[in-house]
Amino acid sequence: MVQKSLKKCEILTLAGTRPEVIKLSEFVRHLDYENHIYAYTGQHYSENMKDIFFNELDSKADLDLRCNTSDVEILRQKIADLISALRPSIMVVYGDTNSSLAGALAARDTKTRLIHIEAGLRSFDMRMPEERNRIEIDQLSDYLFCPSTLSREYLHFEGIENNVFVTGNLIVDVCKKFAEMGLKEKVDFPDDFLLLTLHRAENVDDINSLKTLSTKLKEISHHKIIFPIHPRTKKNLIQSNIQLPENVTTIDPVGYLDFLSLLHKCKLVLTDSGGVQEEAVILKKPCITLRHTTERWETVLMRANRLYPLFQNNEDFGSAVESMLNIKIQSHPYGEDVTAKTVSLLKEILLQSPKVRY
């Protein structure tokens, strides 16, 4: 990773985890000019959660804070120090991770204008750290870029009306650009499998949840399941000594091209990931979200996605899977040419806003 010498910049874009590196990759490429700095917090640090994505997506952060933690206060202090050194006139954060919240708080600490990309998502489940994070980030933001009109409506109901724009979802361009390359990659898996990803606390953080997961996956033992396993989930499965049933093949997290190839080849996606729900609909794969709620309601409304909470669920899992297998998906709700539109709006905002706020 390049460590650019610290110098003043106009725009500072922040990422800290796998999904941000992926979703921001085309956006930062469009901004690759001297007044832009792309900083990485290091919340995700493992080779297969970080470096592989920068490499495959040919994306480069200008500097890496190497925080190796998701602790908001540690991240916030490091980011605030960085902002004080770079003095950007605007800062960009994406989504709902602790890195993004820390970035938003640091922007407020340093009186830096803030753009939130992926504003207005709501799961209405305040137990989720991501829901609390995204609400707080939206409240701290000066400009809110929504992926859909529904997100703009949620902000409207919360009284956030000013500087709200529907720009679409940056993943559309990334996914389309790399899907074709992914298909050329050799992923040696059988046809006819279901693709599973899981990393939310509610699903993987206690032994009973993991036991239920194992039981549910056994209920669909006639389906082969490929499970690229998030490090959090892997750690918890090992600690609880739980074996998943034989129809499940667990593999380490894969790079983006392999993941898109798996998505393309699978019959159905089972996931609790936000980004994977979006990519499934873009690539026209039916999806079952293994949660009792989602913040990607558009995909549910268009019946490309349905909810199946693994716990307290009386519906047979096999029937839920069958109900989605033959769903045909015609379109996606996330816009087109999103990167170009987003960058152009950002430049307009820069022209209007004061250059430096110190």
Which residues fall within 8 angstroms of residue 256, CB to CB, at 6 or more apart? 22, 52, 53, 56, 57, 178, 182
User: Judged by CB under 6 A, does residue 187 bind ligand UDP?
Assistant: no
User: Judged by CB under 6 A, does residue 22 bind ligand UDP?
Assistant: yes
Quote the least distance from Cβ 232 to ligand UD1, whole Å: 4
Quote the least distance from Cβ 200 to ligand UD1, whole Å: 7
User: Judged by CB under 6 A, does residue 42 bind ligand UD1?
Assistant: no
With beta carbons less than 8 A apart as the criterion, state whether 10 and 355 touch: yes
Dist CA 148 CA 300 (whole Å): 14
The residue from 10, 62, 131, 279 that contacts ligand UDP (CB under 6 A) is 279
Dist CA 272 CA 201 (whole Å): 10
User: Judged by CB under 6 A, does residue 254 bind ligand UDP?
Assistant: yes
Binding mask 114-153 for ligand UD1 (x = CB under 6 A): ---------------xx-----------------------
With beta carbons less than 8 A apart as the criterion, state whether 195 and 262 touch: yes
User: Judged by CB under 6 A, does residue 182 bind ligand UDP?
Assistant: no
User: Judged by CB under 6 A, does residue 224 bind ligand UDP?
Assistant: no
User: Judged by CB under 6 A, does residue 193 bind ligand UDP?
Assistant: no
- Identify the burial level of 98 via C-beta atoms within 10 angstroms of its C-beta, where 0-12 means exposed, 13-18 middle and 19 or more buried: buried
The residues that are catalytic are 199
With beta carbons less than 8 A apart as the criterion, state whether 28 and 14 touch: no
Strands across the sheet containing 193-197:
248-251, 224-228, 193-197, 268-271, 287-289, 305-307
Instruction: Give kind and range of the element (H or E) at residue 176.
Output: helix 171-184
- Looking at the Cβ atoms of 113 and 291, the one nearer to ligand UDP is 291
User: Judged by CB under 6 A, does residue 256 bind ligand UDP?
Assistant: yes
The residue from 6, 7, 32, 46 that contacts ligand UD1 (CB under 6 A) is 46
Binding mask 154-193 for ligand UD1 (x = CB under 6 A): ----------------------------------------
Dist CA 141 CA 247 (whole Å): 46
Residue 235 interacts, among ligand UDP, ligand UD1, none and using kind-specific CB cut-offs from 5 to 8 Å, with ligand UD1
With beta carbons less than 8 A apart as the criterion, state whether 92 and 28 touch: no
Dist CA 116 CA 96 (whole Å): 10
Residue 231 interacts, among ligand UDP, ligand UD1, none and using kind-specific CB cut-offs from 5 to 8 Å, with ligand UD1
Residue 279 interacts, among ligand UDP, ligand UD1, none and using kind-specific CB cut-offs from 5 to 8 Å, with ligand UDP
- Strand stretches in 126-214, DSSP E: 143-146, 164-166, 193-197
The residue from 42, 103, 228, 333 that contacts ligand UDP (CB under 6 A) is 228
Q: Which residues contact ligand UDP (rule: CB under 6 A)?
A: 18-19, 22, 197, 199, 228, 253-254, 256, 259, 273-276, 279
